[in-house]
Amino acid sequence: MLVLPGEEIPSQGLKPGPGTYRVGGKVYASILGLLSPRPPFVQVIPLSGRYIPRPRDVVIGTVADVQSTFWLLDIGAPRWAPLHMTGTPWKVEVGETERFLKVGDSVVVQVENLDPTGRIGVTMNGEGLGKLEGGTIVTVSPARVPRVVGRSGSMIQTITRHTGAQVAVGQNGRVWVGGSPDAIRRVSAVLWMIDEDGQRPGLTERVESYLLATLPTSESGREEPKLGGAPREPPAERFVAGDDGLATPEEAEEPEGEEEPEEPGADQD
Amino acid sequence: MGNVGAKEVPVLLTPDGRRIDGRRLDELRPIQIRAGALHQADGSAFVEWGQNKVMAAVYGPREVHPRHLQQNNKAVIQCRYNMAAFSVDERKRPGLDRRSQEISKVIAEAFESVVFAEEFPRTSIDVYIEVLQANAGTRCAGLVAASVALADAGIPMVDLLPAVAVGKVGGAIALDLRKEEDNFGEADLPMALVPQSGRLVLLQMEGHMTEEELAQALELGVSGCRAIYEKMKAALRERYSITPPSGGAA
């Protein structure tokens, strides 16, 4: 059930959880979202807003600033996340951080710890973590990540099966797509479609029929069929890329080994 | 509207209680609210209220710029209210002026009292209000737009913040003044209400009213706010209406 800030929630003796507050014995929603009773708590699941980090989340970040011993990553969270040089698989000397990662570079990192002041500790040590080379990053709402992944990765499998692209989903709503330019284009369109109306039922069918209709081998593949959720026009600013924006197939091969194992890890509920 | 600047005072209230645009004293101008009007912002809203057109965009919580404004225990709420050069009859000189600074400040303070800023220490919630077309009551329209935009951005808060101005025209207390009434009326009293608690978090007054008139104006304003509150909720509902049955995958 959709609730809005300030609306009273039938708490039925449940304690106020995330997204709610209590005044004078009554519980109210503090954010816009879906009401979800999880005894002993009643909570509101957000439908919008920035990425709120949780420990162990694998996320895709972009270097926003370089200091002598760490980088600051924009992971779409309320604050930048410091990545210390010891949190990388590289031997970094103090002051040499910029040789490894420059402003604008994209990385896959894991959230390690959060402290009460809102500081987000991330690490690049771990399977599937590292610098991203080539490909494109598409941003969707963090609330849509479970839809992008699908039940136990089914949506990703559908997408990769029909396009041959490599896809890595960060819990922060950033999705790395590698492969041929055509595959990247089709996957991006699908991701925008999921972002736009991922909450409507029948999403898998719509994605699948879009991908089938745009198969590059078929003659009509070039035309964008207008389906239920018409893919919106790709806004140019949405592309964040390693270098020239599109990966050549050889380039894209490289990070594959690192990325693939990360997908199943993108568990949601 | 071309002769608004004329010295002659228009008839603001007819003997049978009709106002310059035919409204009764307790009638609002038509309002349309659209939540989520912009893509890049974390939250946004567009409000058309009478002849006002206001766009609001919310970014954040995000890193604070400039850094020294950062607060260790909560988010800072920064607001910029701005009128477009083409928003009024005579070209408005672009940029910050004393009026827009004041409005930015009172709007930011109104939101400070409803947003749970402690949840995001050392961050900034930036609220941008752009008035594209003005016809009195733009601070209220801006507040309404910004409040819907904050909800759209998933910011936790006590409640939405409806706002409206009440004034005195032709000797009577009237709801939601339009430009002629604002210019030639006797008083203007903008207010913003927290419906959940009944508290007012913005209240300003220009002109003169008796104590009884003020009490009457507050009552009228609060009922106006409640009507606007329903429109704000409807706008957000419309934007987020298509939802799956509690968490079930499609």
Is pLDDT above 90 for A240?
no
A71 in Cβ contact with A55 (< 8 Å): no
User: Is A259's pLDDT higher than 60?
Assistant: no
User: Which among B19, B14, B199 has a CA at the least distance from the CA of A6?
Assistant: B199
What is the Cα–Cα distance from A64 to A72, expressed in whole angstroms?
Answer: 6
Residue A21 at interface with chain B, using a CB cutoff of 8 Å: yes
Cα A26 to Cα A2, A7, A22, A23, B165: the distances in Å are 18, 10, 6, 5, 30
Determine, yes or no, domain membership for B116: yes
- The rounded distance, in Å, linking the Cα atoms of A119 and A122 is 10
**What band does A118 get if pLDDT is binned at 50, 70 and 90?**
confident
Nearest by CB to residue B243, choosing from A49, A116, A199, is: A199
Q: Which of residues 184-243 of B touch A (CB under 8 A)?
A: 194-197, 233, 236-237, 240-243
> Considering CB atoms only, which of A4, A36, A79 is closest to B63?
A79
Contact A118 B197 (CB under 8 A): no
Domain ranges of chain A: 2-46, 58-131, 136-265
Chain B residues close to A53, C-beta within 8 Å: none
Lowest mean pLDDT among A47-51, A200-204, B68-72, B137-141: A200-204
Predicted ipTM of the assembly: 0.89
Q: What is the Cα–Cα distance from B161 to B144, expressed in whole angstroms?
A: 6
Q: Residue A233 region, left (φ>0) first, then alpha (ψ -120 to 50), else beta?
A: beta
Nearest CA-CA distance, residue B79 and chain A, Å: 17
Q: Which among B156, B194, B250 has CB closest to A31?
A: B156
Kindly state the average pLDDT of the residues A72-96.
96
Which pLDDT does position B164 carry in this prediction?
A: 98
Distance CA B91, CA A199 (A): 45
A116 falls in which pLDDT band (50, 70, 90)? confident
pLDDT at A187: 96
Q: Which H or E run includes B102?
A: helix B98-112
User: What integer pLDDT is reported at residue A215 of this predicted model?
Assistant: 84
Q: Is B155 at the interface with chain A, CB within 8 A?
A: yes
- Whether A36 and chain B come into contact, CB under 8 Å, resolves to yes
Fold match flag (A58-131 vs A136-265): no
Give the CA angle between residues A175, A225, A249 to the nearest 5°.
40
CATH fold of A58-131 reads OB fold (Dihydrolipoamide Acetyltransferase, E2P) (2.40.50)
Would B163 be classed as within a structural domain?
A: yes
A137 SS3 class: strand
Report the candidate in A187, A136, A155, A135 with the shortest Cα–Cα distance to residue A263.
A155
Q: What is residue B29's three-state secondary structure?
A: coil
Cis peptide before B61 (omega within 30 of 0): yes
Res. B4 pLDDT band, cuts 50 70 90 = low
Q: Which CATH number fits domain A2-46: 3.60.15.10, 2.40.50.100, 3.30.70.260, 3.30.413.10?
A: 2.40.50.100
pLDDT of residue B97: 96
Question: What are A126-172's pLDDT values in tens digits?
Answer: 999 999 999 999 999 999 999 999 999 999 999 999 999 999 999 99
Looking at residue B91, what is its pLDDT?
96
The parent domain of residue B213 ranges over 31-238
pLDDT category at B109 given cuts 50, 70, 90 is: very high
Judged by a CB distance cut-off of 8 A, whether residue A6 touches chain B is yes
Per-residue model confidence as pLDDT tens digits over B173-223: 999 999 999 999 999 999 999 999 999 999 999 999 999 999 999 999 999
Cα–Cα dist A253/A235, whole Å? 26
Q: How confident is the model at residue A236 (pLDDT cuts 50, 70, 90)?
A: very low
Long-range contacts of B217-222 (CB under 8 A, 24+ apart): B217/B166, B217/B167, B217/B168, B217/B173, B217/B187, B217/B189, B218/B166, B218/B189, B218/B191, B220/B25, B220/B26, B220/B166, B220/B173, B220/B175, B221/B164, B221/B165, B221/B166, B221/B175, B221/B189, B221/B191, B221/B193, B222/B191, B222/B193, B222/B198
When CB atoms are compared, the residue of B154, B196, B243 closest to A28 is B196
Q: What is the pLDDT of residue A43?
A: 95
Nearest residue on chain A to B245, judged by CA atoms? A1
Q: Tokens representing A193?
A: 């479609």
pLDDT confidence of residue B5: 53
Residue B11 inside a domain? The answer is no
Per-residue pLDDT at B169: 95
User: Which is nearest to B203 in space by CA: B188, B219, B191, B187?
Assistant: B191
From A75, A14, A67, A69, select the one nearest A43 (Cα to Cα).
Answer: A14
Q: Are A118 and B155 within 8 A, CB to CB?
A: no
> What is the structure's pLDDT at B3?
55
Whether A247 shows a pLDDT value over 90: the answer reads no
How many domains in chain B? 1
CA torsion sign for A137, A198, B236, A33 is negative
Per-residue pLDDT, A268: 42
What CATH architecture does domain A136-265 belong to?
2-Layer Sandwich (3.30)
Report pLDDT digits (tens) over B28-67: 999 999 999 999 999 999 999 999 999 999 999 999 999 9
pLDDT digits (tens, 9 = 90+) for B234-243: 999 999 986 4
Q: What is the DSSP string of B183-248?
A: HHSSEEEEEEEETTTTEEEEE--EE---HHHHHHHHHHHHHHHHHHHHHHHHHHHHHT----STT-
Asked if B243's CB is within 8 angstroms of A78's CB, the reply is: no
Position B201 in a domain: yes
Q: What pLDDT is stored for residue B10 in this prediction?
A: 87
A235:B43 CB<8 A? no
Under 8 Å between Cβ of B6 and B91: no
Q: Residue B61: inside a domain, yes or no?
A: yes
| Interface probe with B: pick from A26, A27, A32, most Cβ of B within 10 Å | A32
Which CATH number is B179's domain given?
Answer: 3.30.230.70
Residue A237, pLDDT above cutoff 70: no
Sheet of A20-23, strands arranged across: A8-9, A26-29, A20-23
Q: Rounded to an integer, what distance in angstroms lies between the CA atom of residue A259 and that of residue A246?
A: 17
Q: Is A122 an interface residue toward B (CB < 8 Å)? A: no
For B111-137, give one letter per residue: b (16+ CB within 10 A) or e.
bbbbbbbebbbbbbbbbbbbbebbbbb
pLDDT of residue B131 exceeding 90, the answer is yes
Residue B147 in this model has a pLDDT that exceeds 70: yes
Rounded mean pLDDT of chain A?
A: 84
